[in-house]
Amino acid sequence: MANFRTCPDTGFKIDLQADKLIKWNAVTAVVFLLVGGLFGLLVALTRWPAVHLLDADLFYLALTAHGLDVLLVWIIFFEMALLYFTSAILLNSRLAMPKVGWLGYVLMLVGALITNVAVLQGNSTVMFTSYVPLQAEPHFYLGIILFAVGALLGCAVFFGTLYIAKKERTYEGSIPLVTFGAMTAAIIAVFTIATGAVILIPTMLWSMDIGLIDRVDGLVYRIVWWGMGHSSQQINVAAQIACWYAIAAILFGAKPLSEKVSRTAFLMYILFLQLASAHHLLVDPGLSSEYKIFNTSYALYLAVLGSMIHGLTVPGAIEAAQRKKGFNNGLFEWLAKAPWGNPVFSGMALSVVLFGFLGGITGVIMGTEQLNIIMHNTMYVPGHFHGTVVVGTTLAFMAISYWIVPTLWQKEMVMPGLAKWQPYLFGLGMGAAAIFMMGAGTLGVPRRHWDIAFADSAIGHVFPEAANLMMGLAGVSAVVGSLGALIFILNMVGTILWGKAKVPAPASAEPTPAETPSAATSYGGAGTMAVPGTFVLAMVFLTTFVLYYFVNWKYLAGVWGLS
Amino acid sequence: MSIFPAKGVWWNEPVEKSEVLWVSIAFLWAMIMFFMMPYWHFAGEQNLSNEAYKISPDAFVEKTENFAAKYTVREDAATGIPVVAPPAGSDVYIFGRTFEWWPMLELEQDKSYRFHISSADYMHGFSLLPENINLQIIPDYEMVLTITPTSSGEFSIVCNEFCGIGHHNMVGKIFVK
Amino acid sequence: MSADSSGNIPFMQRLLDSPFVLLALGVLVPTVIYTVWGVVEALSIPMAP
Ligand code: HEM
Ligand SMILES: [Cu+2]
Ligand SMILES: [Cu+2]
C-alpha cells in the first residue's frame, strides 16, 4: 500500500505518491508560467505605444495564449499541487486514489497542449473567453474540456483524501485551517468545472458543425461561461489565502486569531463568492437589476466581508505570534522585525497588501452595478485582475514555492541572493503595471486592442497624451515584472535540477523560522491576544477603500445621463 | 497553528475585541455598499434601463436602415457612412458590424434619445469616448436605453470587445451640437 | 478537554467539519442563484415588437 517518508524539516509523514504528484504538478505549473509569461511580455511590449512589437494577428494570438496559459494552466496546475499538499501531507495521510491523480495530471497536460497547439495554429484566435459566435477550432475547446476533467479528478482525490484521513484517524479534531481553505478552493472548483462543462461541450459540438447544435445563444453563453470564468478566480482567492495562513504558520508559528472567525469567513466564500460572476454581466442587455445587484454583491457583500476578515486575521496572526516572541514595542515593532529578506515572507506580505489595495478594492468597485458602466472592457479590467491574480495569487504561490521546493526536494536554492529581491521585483513591477493599466482604463483605453493610435483605420479616436503615457509606463513596469517572473522560474528550475542537497541542519540564514512547535502549543487560536498594529493597518485600508469608492461615484455622476 | 488540526470546541473560544470590532465595521461598510446600488436607481442619473428584446440581426439591420433613410443629413467623407440626425426625443438605431458602427449620429445637447443598440454579427463593445460609457453588445439582442448627452463636441464609439482581427479599426462617431 | 463526544460540539462546528455538506451547498447555492436565475431571465427576454 502507501509508502511514506518523513520530512526532515517538518516531521510530516509524506506519502510518496503525493510527494511525486505535488512535484510534477508544481513543475508543470512553473513551465507554463514561463510560456504564458513570455506571451504576456510580448503582449505588453505591443501595447506599449512606442514599441508596438507584434503585428495585429500575432498580438491577438499571443493574447489568447497568454490568458489561457497563465490563468488556466499555471494557476490550476499549481492549485493541484496545493490540494495534494494540504490534504495528504498536512493530514499525515495516504493520498486517496493516486492513480486517479495521475490520470488527472495526464489529462490536464494533454488538454493544455492541445489547446496551445490550436491557438498557435492560428485559427482559434478568440481570446480565452471564446465568446460565441466567434468560433475556434473544435480541438481548442476539447483541450480545455480535457484539462477541466483532469482538474476535477484532482478535486476528487482531494475529497477522497479528506474522507480516508478522517476514517483512518490520521488526525484528531478538525482539519487544519489551511486545509479548510484549500477545501474551499476545491468546492468552488467543482462548481467551476461543472459549469464549464455545461457551456464548453455544446460550444465544441457547435464548432464541429455536425448538425447537433447549430447555434449557441450569446447572452446565455456569457452567463454560463462566467460562472466558470469568474469562479475560477475565486478558486485562486481561496487557495492564495490558504497559502497566506500556511506561511504565517510556517515562518512565525502563528495561530489563527480565532478558528471560528476565519472558518466562517471561508464559509462565506463557499456560499457566496461564486455569485460575483455576475459582475461581468452588469452592462449586458436584458438582465434585471435585482439579479445584477444581488449577485454582483455576493449576496449583500457577505463574501467581501469574508475577505476583509482574512485581511485582518492573516497579519493579525503574525502580529500575535511576534508579540508573544517579545516584539512588543509600539504598534509596529512586530512588523519591522519581520524577515523582509526572506522571500517566503516578503512575497506573502506583498501579496496581502497588493491584493487588498490593488485587486480587492478595484474589484469591488468595478463590480458595483452602475460603476461598471465607466470601466467595463477598458484597460481598467486587466489592471484590476493583474492586481488580483498576478500580484495576489501568483505572488503568494511564488512565496510558498520558496518554502515548498527546498523542503520537498531537500535542496538548497541555487540563487538565494536574487531570491531576496525577486518578490519585490515581480510584485512592485506588476503592481505598477496594474496601476498604470487602470489609469489608462479611466481614460477609456480599451482592453484587447492592438492599436489605440488607429493608424490603419479610416477614422479614429484621439486619446489624451496621458493615455499613451500610461500605456508606456505599464509597458516599462511589465518588463520589470517579467524579469521578476523569469528570475523566479530560473531559480526554481535550477534548484530542482542542480541544487545542492540540503544538509540536515537549520540551514536558513534568516532569523530562525519558528522551531517546530510542540504538540501542546501547536493548535488552537491565539487566544485573546490584542493586535493593535494590524487594526490600525486595517483602518488605513478601509479609509482608502471608502475614499476611492466614492471618488468613482463622483466620476460616474459626471457622465451623460442614462436611463 | 493553521497547518495543524484544530482540537476541542474551537467554536466556543472567545474572539478578541479588535477582531469583533473589525468584523462589525466591515459589515457596516458592506451594507453601505450594497444599498448604494438601489439608492442610485432613485437618486442617480446614470442607470441602465435593462430593457431588451430578442431580434435577428437581419431584422435589426433593416430597422436601422429605415431609420437612417428617414433622417440622413450627409455622408461621412472618410468612410461613406451616413450621418443621421434624428429629432430630439426620438428612437435611435445603431449597430456594430465588423468593423464599423453604423450609422453615425448627430444629436442635440441636453435632449434625450431612446437608443436601440445591437450587433449584425459578433459581440462588440460600445465604448463611448471620451465619456467612457461602456456597453456589451450581443447579436440577437436589442438593447434599449435612454441617453442624454450633457456635453457637446465629437464623440467616438470605440469597439472594446474583441470581434476579429480588424477589431482595432472599429470606430463610430456621434456629434453633439 | 470537554468535547470528545460529538454531542457537545456546536452545530456550526459540525457543519464546518463536514466537507461533503459544504460541497453540496457550495455547488447548489450558486447554481440556483446565479446560473438558473440568470438563464431564466435571459430566456424570458421578449421578442422585439
Ligand atoms: C509575466 C508577466 C505578465 C505580463 C507582462 C502581463 C501583461 C499583460 C498584458 C499587457 C495584458 C493585455 C491587456 C490587453 O491588451 O487587454 C494581459 C492580459 C491578461 N493577463 Fe497578463 N501579464 C503577466 C502575467 C500574468 C499572469 C501571471 C496572469 C494570471 C495568472 C495573467 C493573466 C492575464 C489575463 C487573464 C489577461 C487577459 C487576456 C484577455 O483579455 O483575453 N497575466 N497581461
Ligand atoms: Cu467590434
Ligand atoms: Cu471589436
B56 shares its domain with B37: no
The residue in chain A having the minimum alpha-carbon distance to the alpha carbon of residue B138 is A218
Query: B91-97 and B113-119: which strand pairing?
Result: parallel
Asked if B16 and A258 come within 8 Å (Cβ–Cβ), the reply is yes
B66 shares its domain with B145: yes
B22 shares its domain with B96: no
Chains in touch with A (3+ beta-carbon pairs under 8 Å) read: B, C
Range(s) of the domain holding residue A129: 7-501+524-557
B33 in a domain, yes or no? yes
B21 shares its domain with B66: no
B38 shares its domain with B123: no
What pLDDT was estimated at residue A519? 34
What pLDDT was estimated at residue A132? 92
Asked if C2 and B9 come within 8 Å (Cβ–Cβ), the reply is yes
Tell me if residue A252 falls in helix, strand or coil: helix
Which ligand 1 atom is the nearest neighbour of the CA of A475?
A: 10
Ligand 1 pocket mutation pick from A35, A41, A43, A480 by most atoms within 8 angstroms of CB: A43
Contact residues, chain B, for C48 at CB < 8 Å: 53-55, 59-60, 142
Pick the residue whose CA is nearest to atom 27 on ligand 1.
Answer: A390
| Residue A447 CB less than 6 A away from ligand 1 | yes
**CA pair distance A27, A517, nearest whole angstrom:** 30
Q: Are A49 and A472 in contact (CB under 8 A)?
A: yes
A483 in a domain, yes or no? yes
CATH of the domain at B155: 2.60.40.420
What pLDDT was estimated at residue A515? 41
B4 in a domain, yes or no? no
Contact residues, chain A, for B135 at CB < 8 Å: 283, 373, 376
A342 in a domain, yes or no? yes
A61 in a domain, yes or no? yes
Which residues of chain A fall below pLDDT 50?
506-524
A209 in a domain, yes or no? yes
DSSP state of A376: T
Q: What is the pLDDT of residues B101-127, one digit of tens each?
A: 999 999 999 999 999 999 999 999 999
| Residue A479 CB less than 6 A away from ligand 1 | no
**CA pair distance C36, A187, nearest whole angstrom:** 19
The residue ranking higher by pLDDT, C2 or B13, is: B13
Burial class (CB in 10 A: 0-12, 13-18, 19+), A543: exposed
Predicted TM-score (pTM) of this structure: 0.94
The residue ranking higher by pLDDT, B8 or B114, is: B114
Asked if B11 and C3 come within 8 Å (Cβ–Cβ), the reply is no
Select from A264, A275, A288 the Cβ nearest to the Cβ of C41: A288
Whole-number average pLDDT of chain C = 88
Length of chain C: 49
SS (H, E, C) A436-494: HHHHHHHCCCECCCCCCCCCCCCCCCCCCHHHHHHHHHHHHHHHHHHHHHHHHHHHHHH
Which pLDDT band holds residue B16 (cuts at 50, 70, 90)? confident
| Residue A41 CB less than 6 A away from ligand 1 | yes
Pick the residue whose CA is nearest to atom 1 on ligand 1.
Answer: A37
Number of domains in chain B: 2
B83 shares its domain with B155: yes
Q: Are B137 and B124 in contact (CB under 8 A)?
A: yes
Asked if C31 and A288 come within 8 Å (Cβ–Cβ), the reply is no
Number of domains in chain A: 1
Q: Is the dihedral of CA A225, A228, A229, A234 positive or negative?
A: positive
Q: Are A274 and A188 in contact (CB under 8 A)?
A: yes
What pLDDT was estimated at residue B166? 93
Q: Distance from C44 to chain B by nearest Cα, in Å?
A: 10
Tell me if residue B8 falls in helix, strand or coil: coil
**CA pair distance A352, A240, nearest whole angstrom:** 9
CATH of the domain at A328: 1.20.210.10
Q: Are A411 and A493 in contact (CB under 8 A)?
A: no
B28 shares its domain with B61: no
Which pLDDT band holds residue C7 (cuts at 50, 70, 90)? low
Of A233, A280, A319, the C-alpha closest to A529 is A319
Pick the residue whose CA is nearest to atom 34 on ligand 1.
Answer: A67
Q: Are B158 and B127 in contact (CB under 8 A)?
A: yes
B30 shares its domain with B67: no
Range(s) of the domain holding residue B15: 10-42
A55 in a domain, yes or no? yes
B19 in a domain, yes or no? yes
| Residue A43 CB less than 6 A away from ligand 1 | yes
Q: Are A124 and A118 in contact (CB under 8 A)?
A: yes
Residue with cell string 458602466: A373
Whole-number average pLDDT of chain B = 95
| Residue A47 CB less than 6 A away from ligand 1 | yes
* ipTM for this model: 0.96
What pLDDT was estimated at residue A527? 54
Q: What is the pLDDT of residues B38-76, one digit of tens each?
A: 999 999 999 999 999 999 999 999 999 999 999 999 999
A226 in a domain, yes or no? yes
Residue B54 at interface with chain C, using a CB cutoff of 8 Å: yes
| Residue A42 CB less than 6 A away from ligand 1 | no
Q: Distance from C6 to chain A by nearest Cα, in Å?
A: 10
Beta-carbon contacts of A328 under 8 Å, excluding residues fewer than 6 positions away, are A334
B2 in a domain, yes or no? no
Q: Distance from B152 to chain C by nearest Cα, in Å?
A: 32
A517 in a domain, yes or no? no
B27 shares its domain with B61: no
B61 shares its domain with B32: no
**CA pair distance A501, A515, nearest whole angstrom:** 21
What pLDDT was estimated at residue A528? 56
List alpha helices for A87-176, DSSP H.
98-121, 138-167
B67 shares its domain with B95: yes
Measured CA distances, B145 to A39, A49, A285, B84, B135 (Å): 39, 35, 10, 18, 11
B68 shares its domain with B105: yes
B5 in a domain, yes or no? no
Q: Are A286 and C41 in contact (CB under 8 A)?
A: yes
**CA pair distance A116, A124, nearest whole angstrom:** 10
Which pLDDT band holds residue C3 (cuts at 50, 70, 90)? very low
B3 in a domain, yes or no? no
List alpha helices for A168-216, DSSP H.
177-208
Residue of A443, A461, A515, A528 to mutate, testing the B interface (most B Cβ within 10 Å of its Cβ): A461
